[in-house]
Amino acid sequence: MSVSTKPAPSGAPAFLALACVGAILTPGSAWAADPAAPATGDAAGGGTADAGEGGSHREQWITVKGTYARPDVASAKSTASLLDTPQTITVIDKATLQKQNLLTLRDALTTLPGITFGAGEGGGGFGDSINLRGYSANTDITIDGVRDSAQYSRTETFDLQQIEVYNGANSVFNGSGSVGGTINLVSKLPEKRDETVIGASGGTDDYYRATLDSNIRVNDLVAFRLNAVYHHNDVPGRDVERYKRYGVAPAVTIGIDSPTRWTLMGYYQHDDNVPQYGVPYFPALGGKPDGIPYGQYFGYANVDRQKQTIGQLTSIVEHDFDDRFSIRNLTRWEEIKQTTVVDPPQAGVFHLGDICITGAAPLGYVPEGAGGTCKSGSIVVPEGSYLPGGPRGNLRDTRNTMLYDQVDLRGRVQTGPVSHEFVLGASAAWEHYNLDTGKLFMNADGSNPYAASGLPQIIIGGDPVDYTGPLNYVRSSKPYGSRDDYAAYLFDTSRIGELFEVNFGLRWEHSVGDFTTINYNVTPGAAFETISANIPQHTSDNLFSYRFGGVFKPTRSVSLYVAYGNSKTPSISTVNGGCTTGTVGTSTFVNFCDFAPEKAKNYEIGAKADLFHHHLQLTAALFRNERLNFRLPSTGLDESGNSVSVQVPGGKSRVDGLALGASGNITRAWTIFANYTYLKSKVIKSLPDDCEANPTGTAACNTLYLAAPLQGGPLQQTPKHSGSLFTTYQLPFGLQLGYGLTYEGSFAIVTNPSALIDGKYPKSKDWLTHRFFASYPVTPKLTAQVNVQNFTNTHYYTSIRNNGWAIPGATRSATFSLFYNF
């Protein structure tokens, strides 16, 4: 376990590794001399502390008076504390979110090493694209333990109690997938006290924000909590992109002090954003070509948009039979709608200096033609201009709905000398997905108004360009997906005396997936808008997953453990997409659903220790995560001798790594949170058996070889070194100062042989950012806070797409906030 933030530069990996363990070398006498003294600072990565009656600063709404409050996992399936759970789990609590001004899920996860981000768009559309320990985690996000598989942008943390990251293959917790791990978002619930916090913030880049967190104990039976937010900001360093949203989350608990409790929660959020698609990025030119401004927008500012609405209703009924047994039922309905119009700067032609950047592999640029001309077909691109190409004016209108129910029986029993804490449960989920997609920049008859002249060109370094042509929506397809999952599971922690614990989880799941696409003819003429359908896809799989761990406790505050777990991923792994299809000849689709599920395995050995009377926790783990049996492209012949694009199982890759963490108080005034992760990734098998021995022996195998990841090479978007640090110090008169840094090492952008440049993988550049935090209790009820992000104004890229564009990281920004507590 650990609890949140980020690390350093080229020489930074060694520094970060030392930072995570350096707290041990810091004199511990501050705690040893006064073991009963409460903490006055709060852990930079999670726990918070109260200064006591005479303290200089009370952390409103996030303190346990007079004690150090370490966050713990909130999962209903957890049967042990973080210290005694044999797995690397990172918790980012609401104190950390507030102190570092982490407003979105992406902001929060950026502070964790081992996590990178794709460039916005996955198979399900625009939204969070997360890579956890080398593997996609787009559909491995849960809210209160409930799968949240829609592809959208999780832009708010106002209603989050904490964020939990479970590292390593573990579909035993939340179902199929979870190859690299799971990310769980924990909602705020009513509490047994009266407290209201009003927040107001302003800052650079047209930043303003208002929040409300009000918990009211109505009477002995009822407690009510209301969280609300309004937010607006331009993206620092960008000309056009902005975030604008509001949200409200009421919750009420009836029977808050009784054995039987019913909590009803609602959540509503609406976003009106300009999506980020960044700038052109070509590895052969060292990344962003010289002459292209870091902040320029290459879309059409007046039509590009991302509008999303999130609606959620949750019921939780709990009953305590006695102090040993309890039962809990959670029911949730959710609907997520998103409409996007996007214009990414991929394809097209950039005319810069004496080169024409085309995006063509492998180099991405060609010299100017005779007389200094730069053309796309017959269209001339003047020097200093960009002729857009690729998917311009694409409109996607998506709708995800889900109904979910989960029941858990929790108990504690004794069998001879062994004590057990267990959870026995079952769940059912029904998900549906609809997409309406097509092109917007068209004539009413479906013809392309720019077929001859090209889309309106954009001056490089000029002002944002508005689209002034015809706007007519021409639908191209309507995919539909559904997925039903039924599961039963058992988790248990067995304690054998004071020294040994055995922790295990078992899960059986029946997963049924269906997907089909209705296609619309977009060719002008008699056949315009006529309909055809792909072959419906269907899967039905029984999945068995598990996790086992053994814990040795030489002292009560130290855990040494070994663990092993797996995950299973069916062919239809998400409601947003079906199985991969291939073609026979020119038109007939081949369904590749009838494959055994992919597998993943995680091996881990680690240690956790609570020091200084549980004020500081250190963690270390070595791990191997393997992905097995994933689909590989192949070719063959059908009965008529036609060439067939097919898929075969058998792919294999792995990630070996080291994770170090430190979180808590070094002294009563000094807190630290530090994480370091080392990842060594390798593609073990990426070609089918008939091509593996001689990948260039035939034309078909050579084609596959050039397009597949190179065997023996690294995985994409998996940096070897990454880390984070956030530390605060509270002065005697109440002022608290903090410093943080985030480091991400370079990683391979693309790994197939056809993309090699001078025999080397195109790689990103490593980056290091710094941030500053300060807070001061103006009065006992009013706290002022200052945050400066990226105060060295480093230019870097958080997401790099392998087809010619990347999203720049936010430049320097500053915010000033006031929090009033009563």
CATH code for the domain of 558: 2.40.170.20
The identity of residue 275, as a single letter, is: P
- Distance, CA of 580 to CA of 572 (rounded, Å): 9
Query: Which range marks the domain in which residue 256 is found?
Result: 12-348+388-821
**pLDDT of amino acid 67:** 36
CB 271 within 8 A of CB 241: no
* Of 6, 72, 56, 51, the residue nearest 614 (C-alpha): 72
219: left (phi over 0), alpha (psi -120 to 50) or beta: beta
> Cβ distance 753 to 706 under 8 Å?
yes
In this prediction, residue 587 has a pLDDT band, given cuts at 50, 70 and 90, of very low
- Which of 242-246, 533-537, 619-623, 773-777 bottoms out in mean pLDDT, i.e. has the lowest? 533-537
Does residue 523 contact residue 446 with C-beta atoms inside 8 Å?
yes
681-702 tens-digit pLDDT: 999 999 888 888 888 888 888 8
User: Is the per-residue pLDDT at 586 higher than 70?
Assistant: no
Q: What value does the mean pLDDT of the chain take?
A: 86
Q: Given this model, what pLDDT does residue 620 score?
A: 97
Cα dihedral 548→552→555→557 (10° resolution) = -20
Q: What is the DSSP string of 235-257?
A: PTT-SS-EEEEEEEEEEEEESTT
Residue 674 has pLDDT above 70, yes or no: yes
Which range of 91-95, 414-418, 544-548, 592-596 scores highest in mean pLDDT? It is 544-548
- The pLDDT-based confidence of 593 (bands split at 50, 70, 90) is confident
Q: What is the DSSP string of 565-604?
A: EEEEE-SS-BTTB---EEEETTTEEEE---SPPEEEEEEE
Residues in the chain: 822
First to last CA, the chain: 33
**pLDDT of 35 strictly over 60:** no
Residue 280 has pLDDT above 60, yes or no: yes
Find all residues with CB under 8 Å of 395, minimum gap 6, and list them.
Answer: 339, 340, 341, 437, 438, 439, 440, 473
Residues 758-775 have a mean pLDDT of: 92
Instruction: Please state the rounded mean pLDDT for residues 527-531.
Output: 86
Contacts of 561 (CB under 8 A, 6+ apart): 86, 549, 550, 551, 552, 604, 605, 606, 607, 608
- What mean pLDDT do residues 401-408 have? 98
The tally of domains found in the chain comes to 1
Tell me the pLDDT band of 577, cut-offs 50, 70 and 90.
confident
Return the higher-pLDDT residue of 249 and 283: 249
**What is the rounded CA–CA span in Å between residue 424 and residue 492?**
9
Which one-letter amino acid corresponds to residue 151?
Q
Confidence of residue 641 (pLDDT cuts 50, 70, 90): low
Q: Where are the alpha helices (DSSP H) in 68-212?
A: 94-99, 105-110, 171-174
- Residue 419 main-chain phi, psi, to 5 deg: -100, 145
Element (H, E) at 16: helix 12-25
Answer for the pair 231, 103: CB distance below 8 angstroms, yes or no. Answer: yes
Answer for the pair 684, 652: CB distance below 8 angstroms, yes or no.
yes
Identify which of 583, 428, 575, 568 has the alpha carbon closest to the alpha carbon of residue 515.
575
Residue 667: φ, ψ to 5°:
-130, 180
Structural domain contains residue 379: no
Place of tokens 């049996």: 629
> What are 297-306's pLDDT values in tens digits?
999 989 999 9
**Whole-number pLDDT of residue 649:** 86
Pairing, β 598-611 against β 616-637: antiparallel
Backbone angles phi, psi at 749, to 5 degrees: -80, -40
Residue 34's pLDDT band, with cuts at 50, 70 and 90, is: very low
Report the C-alpha gap between 270 and 487 in whole angstroms.
32
Helix (H) or strand (E) holding 669: none
The token duo for 700 is 């078909």
CA distance 170 to 503: 14
Which pLDDT tens digit goes with each residue over 343-366?
888 878 889 888 888 765 445 566
* Residues 6 or more apart whose Cβ sits within 8 Å of residue 176: 485, 509, 511, 541, 543, 567, 568, 569, 570, 573, 597
Do the domain assignments include residue 322? yes
Contact 537, 573 (CB under 8 A): no
Contact 503, 339 (CB under 8 A): no
Tell me the average pLDDT across 521-536: 86
pTM over 0.85: yes
Average pLDDT over residues 502-508: 97
In this structure, the strands spanning 68-69 and 48-49 are antiparallel
The two structure tokens encoding residue 645: 């694009």
Q: Which residue from 294, 291, 299 is spatially nearest to 357, judged by alpha carbons?
A: 291
| pLDDT over 90 (residue 504) | yes
pLDDT class of 581 with cuts at 50, 70, 90 = low
**Per-residue pLDDT at 45:** 47
Instruction: In whole angstroms, give the CA distance from residue 97 to residue 689.
Output: 49
* pLDDT classification of 102: cutoffs 50, 70, 90: very high
Q: Where are the alpha helices (DSSP H) in 447-537?
A: none
Residue-wise pLDDT tens digits, 53-81: 333 333 333 333 333 456 678 889 999 99
- Whether 381 maps to a domain, the answer reads no
Is the pLDDT at 508 greater than 80, yes or no? yes
How many other CB atoms are there within 10 angstroms of residue 178's CB atom?
30
Contact 743, 674 (CB under 8 A): no
- Average pLDDT score over residue span 425-433: 97
Burial class (CB in 10 A: 0-12, 13-18, 19+), 33: exposed
Average the pLDDT over 266-286 and give the result: 90
Give the Cα separation of 783 and 780 in Å (integer).
Answer: 8
Whether 742 is covered by a domain: the verdict is yes
More confident site: 45 or 196 = 196
CA angle 379, 279, 11 (to 5 degrees): 140
* Cα 387 to Cα 449: distance, rounded to the nearest angstrom: 15
Q: What is the pLDDT of residue 59?
A: 36
808 preceded by cis ω (within 30°)?
no
Q: Is the pLDDT of residue 609 over 90?
A: yes
Look at residue 375 and tell me if it is in a domain: no
**In this predicted structure, what is the pLDDT of residue 73?**
84
Q: DSSP letter at 179?
A: S
Secondary structure class of 530 (helix, strand, coil) = coil
Examine residue 156 and state whether it is found in any structural domain, yes or no.
Answer: yes
Contact, 753 vs 760, CB < 8 A? no
Estimate to the nearest angstrom the gap between the alpha carbon of 493 and the chain centroid: 29
Rounded to whole angstroms, how far apart are CA atoms 21 and 772? 23
The fraction of the chain above a pLDDT of 90, given in percent, is: 64
> What amino acid occupies position 455?
L
Distance CA 109, CA 635 (A): 39
Higher pLDDT: 758 or 403? It is: 403
- In our burial notation (b when 16+ CB lie closer than 10 A, e otherwise), range 421-453 reads bbbebebebbbbbebbbbbbbbeeebbeebeee
Element at 298 (helix H, strand E)? none
Residue 26 pLDDT level (bands cut at 50, 70, 90) = very low
Give the other-Cβ count within 10 Å of 315's Cβ. Answer: 14
Give the alpha-carbon dihedral of 50, 51, 56, 61, to 10 degrees.
Answer: 10
Token code pair at residue 793? 């104004």
| Residue 113 clears pLDDT 50, i.e. is over it | yes
Which range among 53-57, 256-260, 547-551, 599-603 shows the weakest confidence by mean pLDDT?
53-57
Residue 125 pLDDT: 56
Strand, helix or coil for residue 134: coil
Give the Cα separation of 462 and 442 in Å (integer).
26
The 3-state DSSP class for residue 307 equals strand
Residue 659 covered by a domain: yes
Distance CA 384, CA 627 (A): 46
How would you list the strands of the sheet with 181-187, edge to edge? 89-93, 160-167, 181-187, 141-143, 146-147
In a domain, 460, yes or no: yes
Q: How far is residue 718's CA from residue 741's CA, in Å, rounded to a whole number? A: 19
For residues 714-730, give the mean pLDDT: 95
Output DSSP code: residue 372: G
